[in-house]
Structure 1
Amino acid sequence: MRTIHAPRLLLLLGTSLLVRGGQTLRSGDHERGDVPGWVMITLMSATLVAVILFMAEEALTTMFKAAMDKVNNP
């Protein structure tokens, strides 16, 4: 199984959202809502999650291992 690291995932997500947003704007369908707004919210959310995971990766891993040890060794 191949893992995708957070910066690469953000790049893929951002590219796909921008391409899809551009297609929506060119299609002339103005009933689809505020495309730049939802693109910005999605990118900001993904960036926030990536930053939190990057900063707290060690602590989250330690917590997970401790929880698994408690389950395996009651």
Structure 2
Amino acid sequence: MTNYVRAAIRKFFWPCTDNAEAGDVPGWVMITLMTAALVVLIWAIAGPALTDLFNNAINRILSI
């Protein structure tokens, strides 16, 4: 009876002991958020320069 109770408690508190990748979701969330933050940061810094570059290229094509 004691082994059964221990097994039940272990299964209740640690249900994923046999799955090695059970706790990997927070890592992927962190990677996704950091990537999004880098995109926003780069866009904020280089956005106006890239917009001017694009507009100059379009104006050169249209003026030919």
Shorter-chain TM-score tier: 0.5 to 0.7
Whichever structure has more helix as a proportion of its residues is 1
Rounded Cα–Cα distance in structure 2 between residues aligned with 1:32 and 1:60: 42
TM-score, scaled relative to structure 2:
0.60
Offset, 1:65 = 0.4
List structure 1 runs of 4+ shifted beyond 6 angstroms. Answer: 28-33
Uncovered stretches (5+) of structure 2, i.e. residues with no partner: 1-14
Uncovered stretches (5+) of structure 1, i.e. residues with no partner: 1-27
* Aligned residue pairs, count: 47
Identical positions, percent: 49
Give the secondary structure class of the aligned counterpart of 1:60. helix
Bigger Rg, which one: 2
Higher relative contact order (CA 8 A, sep 6+): 1
